[in-house]
Structure 1
Amino acid sequence: MPIPERVGIISRLLLRENAYRSIRDAIVDGTMAPGEKLNDAELAQWLGMSRTPVREALARLEGSGLVVTEPGRYTIVSPLDARIARAVQTVMAAMHELAVREAVPHLSVVELDAMREANARFAAALRADDVDAAIASDDDFHGVAVRASANPVLRAVIEQYTPVLRRLERLRFSSLNGRASVALHDRIITLCEAGDGEGASAAARDNWLSLTEVFELDAYGNLST
């Protein structure tokens, strides 16, 4: 039988993914501020594409808590909400704990070296007060175990909700004890190398739970800045 033509389908999927990642990154890095109104026509013009993939991207972003939509009225960048952030933090700590537990039996020397290299970049970025580099290298560090776990469901959940925490880390990065994170990363690597899946996974959980100091509420229940 002839091979079905799929170019159009692939093109649409790529447009939708590009729109999602571009808008997500702009929200996480603060280019699009909390409470800012999002217009799909303006976003489409910015991205150089039709409004359809933009609308699909906004629906996906709403699912991960980065935008809020009132049908027929508005779509805005989600306000910072400490309660939501705490809920996401709990889930992410559990997901990374599971990722490391599943990854440990499969980690190679090359992957352990990649974790060390990412943590070295993370430490250097903290010393240089380079928030972008710190977040990127932290993602690289944790991404080694997530990929090695070979668990696609776990990976999808982590990818969906990590931006919620990264957004807060960026805005309040100076309040984090970054050097403690470097030390926790080193501990995770040491335990992984020793084949201690339970110890390494517990250290990964503690690493993500150490973000608690970011989520401070004011007297009205809003995230303080």
Structure 2
Amino acid sequence: MPVPSDHPPVDRSLLRDDIYRRLRDAITDGTFAPGEQLRDGELATWLGVSRTPVREALLRLAQGGLVVARPGRSTVVSSLDERSTRDARDVVAAMHELVVREAVTHFTSADLDAMNDAARRFAEALDARDIDAALRADDELHAIPVTVAGNRAAAAVLEQYMPVLRRIERVRFASADGLRSPDRHDELIRLCAVGDTDGAAAVAFDTWHSLPTSTA
């Protein structure tokens, strides 16, 4: 689709990370479709910034696998390549297993309450078929173990590879398999609450490793 013309520009004082996130989200929510060419000039106009931070954001997106940069030619949104998706899924699953394993003995009651609240909102969003709200709640829930673990290396890896899976998550949450996700969340929280490190880590791994690697 063409670059949207009705989106408010980004405040020029915002950091380059915000530009990266805007472009990342436009790819993962389908605003920019797989195979679509991304022109830095058009994107800069859309976002209300210069071309330099847009180019930097596109380089980050290429490193994460969301775009394919062809030097001197063009930058296009990547397709849902099964191999790339599988690789990202395996890495993300391992990182979530790791942070849960590190976080279990450090959870406070407030952390568990926050996870339960996010799980509740996730289930309600799925029932309402509000995929965007479900994704936000899911992000909040899984971000808590990442924060509690405090493993900055794992957090950086997740920041890079989670976006690759976002389009696949949308497919899952709109499918019958997605309706089982609230049960996975409830089991994860229960195991965390009783201090079952191995059990909670296994559920965290399976939650992500069970993602499909294609939309077929």
Same fold (TM over 0.5): yes
Which residue in 2 is equivalent to 1:155? 155
AA matched with 2:129: D
Which residue in 1 is equivalent to 2:86? 86
Tell me by how many angstroms 1:181 deviates. 1.3
Which residue in 2 is equivalent to 1:108? 108
Which residue in 1 is equivalent to 2:128? 128
Tell me by how many angstroms 1:15 deviates. 3.4
Q: Determine what percentage of the aligned residue pairs are the same residue.
A: 56
Deviations 1:57-77 (A, max 9, x none): 000000000000110000000
Tell me by how many angstroms 1:13 deviates. 9.2
2:145 aligned counterpart, secondary structure? helix
CA distance in 2, matches of 1:139, 1:72: 36
Which residue in 2 is equivalent to 1:219? none
Deviations 1:80-126 (A, max 9, x none): 11111111111111000001000111100000000000000111011
Alignment of 1:1-225 (within 5 A): 14-171=14-171, 173-211=173-211, 214-216=212-214, 224=216
Tell me by how many angstroms 1:176 deviates. 4.8
CA distance in 1, matches of 2:81, 2:173: 17
2:31 aligned counterpart, secondary structure? coil
Tell me by how many angstroms 1:174 deviates. 2.2
Report the aligned-residue RMSD: 1.7
Tell me by how many angstroms 1:209 deviates. 1.6
CA distance in 2, matches of 1:49, 1:171: 32
- Quick check: 1:106–1:148 contact (8 Å CA) kept in 2? yes
2:65 aligned counterpart, secondary structure? coil
Q: Specify the structure having the higher radius of gyration (Cα).
A: 1
- Quick check: 2:95–2:154 contact (8 Å CA) kept in 1? yes
- Quick check: 2:126–2:173 contact (8 Å CA) kept in 1? no
CA distance in 2, matches of 1:153, 1:177: 31
- Quick check: 2:173–2:179 contact (8 Å CA) kept in 1? no
Structure 1 residue runs of 5 or longer lacking an equivalent are 1-10, 217-222
CA distance in 2, matches of 1:129, 1:173: 8
1:96 aligned counterpart, secondary structure? helix
1:69 aligned counterpart, secondary structure? strand
Tell me by how many angstroms 1:38 deviates. 0.3
The 1:169/1:55 distance shift into structure 2, 3 A limit, reads same
Deviations 1:160-189 (A, max 9, x none): 111111122224542351232111111111
The 1:138/1:19 distance shift into structure 2, 3 A limit, reads same
